[in-house]
Structure 1
Amino acid sequence: MLSWLRKKMKTIMIVVAVLFAASMFYGLSFSGLPGGGGGQPSNVLAKVNGRAVDPMRYQELINRIAQNFGQNATPSDMAMIDNLALGQAVDFTLLQQAAEKKVKVSGGEIDAALDSIMKQQNIPSKRELENALKKIGLSVGKFRDFIKGDIIVQKLQMKLQAEVKVTPDDLREVMRKFPKEKEPEKIALREKQQNAFRSFYSEIRSKAKIEIVNPLLKAHDFRFRGRLNEAIAEYQKAISQMPTNPMIHVYLGDAYMAAGRKDLALAEYENAVKVEGGNPDLYLVLGKVYLGMGEKGLATDQFRKASLIAGDNKATHEKLLKLFQQMKRPAEAAREQAEIKRLEKKEKFEKEITGSR
């Protein structure tokens, strides 16, 4: 009965990867907020046909997308990550609404998924699962709802696929395009299923009422659609609501820079450092801006500060090494190389200690 679930566990296990990850990108967690920190007046991010987008779903997508960026991601990249995650969360909410009208999910299916997750993560009892969820501010009920959403959307996709039939005309078209294809039925079926899903999604999307509520996410949306003045106004509103979030100053600086207002952009990058002076990435941002303005001395000062604050952050020292090499600053580059070697020795020692236990 649940063979489809076993085949589709990859999507469900994404939830597990997020729940039990050792660390989160820029300190984000399920209670995290758009922009990577600071206060937030409301958990409502956006609405799809009147239904609020699930913040947990949005956060799970942020972590998944951020992992694809890896250590090369910059604070400025977080705006794109936020925007992509919101778009995917909106899409998922829309599909979930459509699925609820066409398919059902039983409690037994959710139980089977939970059992698989517990087995995969070596969680011996429901009580321990409950305790693990509590640590990140989730109830078992909320987690079950999250899993149910995954399953119901998968079942909708499978239902749409099952309704597709390949006709002789479809086969002839594939053979015309790919005369040497040995399995034209599979090609025809896959192409027709993809077209059917696109058509279905396009129809429900065209009828959907989508409203972005969160000012920061609204600003991102305006910015990536080229509506910079509106983006700037929303970023300013977001700063007034979340004054302790340095990332919004970076985003506002990026918007000003895109609008050609360099002086205002520089002021915002400097404000970001003032709000959170212990974040080396913010000094990197400011230093790169100075570098782009031809102010190599000021850029070097910011990069030196980033190095001091970075401590044992090897990725930051590697970034600084490349920057100093590009700037032809051999003394600073040598210091970064020394830091990297120190950290590599430390990593090797820690591995040896761990391996001997």
Structure 2
Amino acid sequence: MSHLNQPFTFKSLSLRNRIVMPPMCQYSVEAKDGKPNAWHDVHYISRAVGGTGLIIMEMTDVEPDGRISNYDLGLWSDEQVPAFARVIDGVHRYGAKIGIQIAHAGRKAENAEVPVGPSALRYSEKYKQPRAMTTDEVRAMVGKFGDAARRAVAAGVDTIELHGAHGYLIHQFHSPSINNRDDEYGRERWRFGVEVVKAVKAQLPSDMPLLMRISAIEYVDDGYDIDYAIEMARHYRDAGVDIFNVSSGGEGPAGKRKPGNYPGYQVPFARQIKDELGVPVIACGSLDDPKLAQSVVANGDADLVAVGRGMLNDPYWAAHAIRATGGDKNGLLPRQYDRIV
């Protein structure tokens, strides 16, 4: 029996299996208008054809200066909705469910003339000097996340993921190493994230789950650890997050503590958050080996597994992994490809 091939249901989200394609920036918007194009059609729809249960579209930004680069996706305008709806409809046609990761790069916005963040602290010497947002700008940014969520729902998504990891804006606010504000968004570092969660949740159908990607630990010297992340995630859960996608790092150049370079190194973080908070979690981080991915689900370490590089290498990774772990080959791929299964 393949545990990867077991269906998963939470609220209105019903997945055919436990395999997730995580958001991975493609930097492929041609007109710099934030709209997905033919590349994104092929990139996402081919993974739906390949048997993936849930596809999460790459980091999609709430304003032009919130992009990592000018070639990133965006949902800051109603005019962008039809292009997203086209991709989403195509994914649905082949049996997968799809969400969008909504975000703002903050101080890591490389093409913004003057990046913004919670504080005027540069990511590294290779990045531009950011400007600290005013309190009114922070409040307005919360609204922009809500507006982007409304557009994602209009485009037909099955779920939304907020990017609270890897050193982007929400992470910047809840990180003690980055946020040195003296207003309410500094005194309560997760306040911005909590307000974003509530603003986004207000735009979702009542039965649509909200996902959030978080970094469970930081690697900069004096960065936070798993205990801080659990307390932070508790606030987000109570505000409305249903499922956590558990990653780590990205807030700055690593110090004495280094990220792992072995398969499954982030799985223990996912398990601890799952156990402490009693919520479903997605594990990620070098889970390309089907047997390893299967063990994560079978052991109860996570409810879902996200495989990024494996799917870049093989659009049919999901079908091949299910077959390699003893799953029923029937229905893994469209009938046109039955001969290769």
Question: Is the radius of gyration larger for structure 1 or structure 2?
Answer: 1
Fold similarity call, TM over 0.5:
no
* Bigger fraction of residues in helix: 1
* TM-score, length basis structure 2: 0.31
